Amino acid sequence: MPSFDIVSKVDTQTLDNAVNTVKKEITTRFDFKDSHVNMELNKKDLSLNVEVESEMKLTQVIDVLISRTMRHGLDATIYDLSKEPYQSGKVVKKEIPIRNGIKQEDAKKIVKLIKDSGVKVQAAIMDDIVRVTGKKIDDLQEVIQKTKEANLGIPLQYTNMKS
């Protein structure tokens, strides 16, 4: 029986390359000359710590970060930008968690979306993976298309296609 997995994984090496590219670009930009900018990628916790002088510069750094991430082939929605920046002395700090894996609530949303679509497939949640099985590969491709069209706010990849 044909099946595939819906996952949300981030390639940490590509992410590290994107962050290093952002660091290089920030150091060479004229508007950041003599400014305090510190970016640290924590690969263990999968979070990015940004430290700048003002909130305006923070938004500029985040814009550069998102554009460079997309150029490296990663989805811009891997960054959870919902946390507010906070003032710490003379600098503004922001911790940006990186989404890796599908949370239980998001997995339930995906399964509900698949069931509501009316396609004759079965979807099962397995930890941070949603496995979809069906009788026809065309049905599975229709499910892939439907999940791509639905804006779920998380980056999705489709792996392990078996027929």
- Where do the domains of the chain lie, and which CATH numbers do they carry? 3-8+101-162 (3.30.70.860), 12-97 (3.30.70.990)
Quote the CA–CA distance of 130 and 141 in Å, as a whole number. 15
Please enumerate in sequence order all residues whose Cβ is within 8 A of that of 56, keeping only pairs 6 or more positions apart, or say none.
none
Quote the CA–CA distance of 84 and 93 in Å, as a whole number. 9
CA angle (131, 136, 141) in 5-degree steps: 65
**In b/e form, how buried is each residue of 128-160, taking b as 16+ CB within 10 angstroms?**
ebbebebeeeebbbbbbebbeeeeeebbbebee
Strands 3-7 and 157-162: antiparallel
Q: What is the pLDDT of residue 1?
A: 86
Residues 111-128, mean pLDDT to the nearest whole number: 90
- 30-80: pLDDT as tens digits: 888 888 889 999 989 899 999 999 899 999 999 999 999 999 999 888 998
- 82-114: pLDDT as tens digits: 889 988 888 999 999 998 889 899 999 999 999
